[in-house]
């Protein structure tokens, strides 16, 4: 059920013990939005705890209060009266779903989130969930401290490719500008987030070696096998290496996570890749989407290339 931001704020105000989470394979927006909201709610004298059921890319560990994020254990319970799910629909939060039976409030900006069976505030035009949390602060009457501003700015910067993608609106830059006024150091965040280990850069080399071009140059793909993946701890940003190829509309990367488990990332300059991902059981945004295919790498390639072919 779709609700307004005001209604979402009312539900949050009425709750006292709030469990906050976001999607597995968390990105800057998932971590930034959950940590920002946790700090706001604690300042309102509420119990608020972030749980994420995954490892988090090292670059994001510098965010204020990052060390307080917990990962759920099997059978663990958390005493909550509200489960706040940010930046995803409830199907991508892993074991956090089992921590509590509290009512769910979902806040997201994914166009593919349908709000099935839960109360959802969804704003697909928002570049990041952090944009929405910025506005929610106003509704909650919460102060945005420099630490909170740093978390929110990180989510907006990462989801817009540092203000380069088509989801960057005047409103996005206005909010970013206000966050800088509130104490964000943009150069510090950029420097922390661009850091990569030598192993990661070597991983990029491996990925680039696998480059294939399809449909007369309109589609480009990279492929990482299970063996490759064992040597790479993060593939964050790899897809951007080929997104830039002149004439390429859809770039994709398939990485083999386990036997017959392939993660797919897609980026586009025009085609709606959220539809392609949705068809294959995933989701995302018009120009950035993903899914998991329970196939081997060669089969996954065939299925994906065919689905993209139909969309272009």
Residues of this chain that bind ligand 5GP (CB under 6 A): 23, 25, 92, 112, 265, 282-285, 288-292
| Choice between 76 and 240, CB closer to ligand 5GP | 240
Cβ count near 170 (within 10 Å):
7
* Alpha-carbon torsion (53, 97, 279, 289), positive or negative: negative
Strand order through the sheet with 261-268:
212-214, 219-224, 250-258, 261-268, 288-293, 283-284
The least CB distance from residue 159 to Mn ion, in Å, is 5
Interaction partner, residue 282 (ligand 5GP, Mn ion, none; CB < 5-8 Å by kind) = ligand 5GP
Q: Residues 107, 109, 110, 113: what is their CA dihedral angle, to the nearest 10 degrees?
A: 30
The least CB distance from residue 6 to ligand 5GP, in Å, is 26
| Choice between 25 and 206, CB closer to ligand 5GP | 25
Interaction partner, residue 288 (ligand 5GP, Mn ion, none; CB < 5-8 Å by kind) = ligand 5GP
Interaction partner, residue 23 (Mn ion, ligand 5GP, none; CB < 5-8 Å by kind) = ligand 5GP
Report the residue number whose CB is nearest to Mn ion. Answer: 29
| Choice between 134 and 252, CB closer to ligand 5GP | 252
Interaction partner, residue 290 (ligand 5GP, Mn ion, none; CB < 5-8 Å by kind) = ligand 5GP
Q: 147 is written with which tokens?
A: 């630490």
Interaction partner, residue 296 (Mn ion, ligand 5GP, none; CB < 5-8 Å by kind) = none
282 to 111, 210, 223, 231: CA distances (angstroms): 12, 24, 19, 26
The least CB distance from residue 64 to ligand 5GP, in Å, is 23
308 to 130, 167, 179, 247: CA distances (angstroms): 30, 22, 38, 15
| Choice between 15 and 86, CB closer to ligand 5GP | 86
| Choice between 15 and 282, CB closer to ligand 5GP | 282
Q: 12 is written with which tokens?
A: 């949050």
Angle among Cα 50, 54, 60 to the nearest 5 degrees reads 70
Residue numbers of the site for Mn ion (CB under 5 A)?
A: 29, 87, 129, 159
């Amino acid at each position: 059920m779709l609700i307004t931001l005001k209604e979402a704020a009312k539900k949050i105000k009425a709750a006292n013990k709030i469990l906050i989470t976001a999607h597995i394979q968390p990105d800057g927006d998932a971590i930034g939005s959950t940590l920002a909201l946790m700090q706001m709610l604690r300042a309102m004298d509420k119990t608020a705890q972030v749980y994420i059921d995954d490892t988090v890319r090292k670059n994001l560990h510098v965010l204020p209060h990052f060390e307080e994020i917990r990962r759920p254990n099997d059978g663990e319970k958390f005493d909550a009266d509200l489960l706040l799910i940010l930046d995803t629909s409830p199907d991508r939060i892993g074991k956090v779903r089992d921590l509590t039976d509290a009512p769910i409030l979902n806040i997201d900006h994914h166009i593919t989130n349908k709000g099935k069976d839960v109360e959802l505030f969804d704003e697909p035009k928002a570049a990041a969930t952090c944009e929405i949390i910025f506005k929610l602060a106003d509704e909650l009457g919460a102060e945005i401290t420099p630490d909170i501003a740093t978390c929110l700015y990180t989510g907006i910067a990462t989801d817009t490719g540092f203000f380069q993608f088509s989801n960057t609106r005047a409103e996005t830059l206005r909010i970013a500008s206000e966050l800088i006024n509130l104490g964000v150091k943009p150069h510090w965040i950029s420097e922390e987030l661009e850091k990569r280990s030598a192993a990661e850069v070597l991983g990029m080399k491996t990925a680039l070696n696998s480059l294939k071009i399809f449909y007369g140059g309109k589609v480009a793909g990279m492929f990482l096998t299970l063996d490759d993946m064992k040597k790479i701890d993060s593939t964050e940003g790899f897809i951007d290496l080929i997104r830039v190829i002149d004439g390429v509309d859809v770039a994709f990367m398939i990485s083999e996570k386990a036997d017959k488990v392939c993660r797919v990332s897609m980026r586009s300059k025009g085609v709606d890749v959220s539809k392609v991902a949705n068809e294959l059981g995933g989701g995302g945004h018009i120009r950035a989407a993903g899914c998991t295919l329970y196939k081997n790498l060669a089969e996954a390639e065939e299925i994906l290339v065919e689905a993209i072919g139909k969309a272009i």
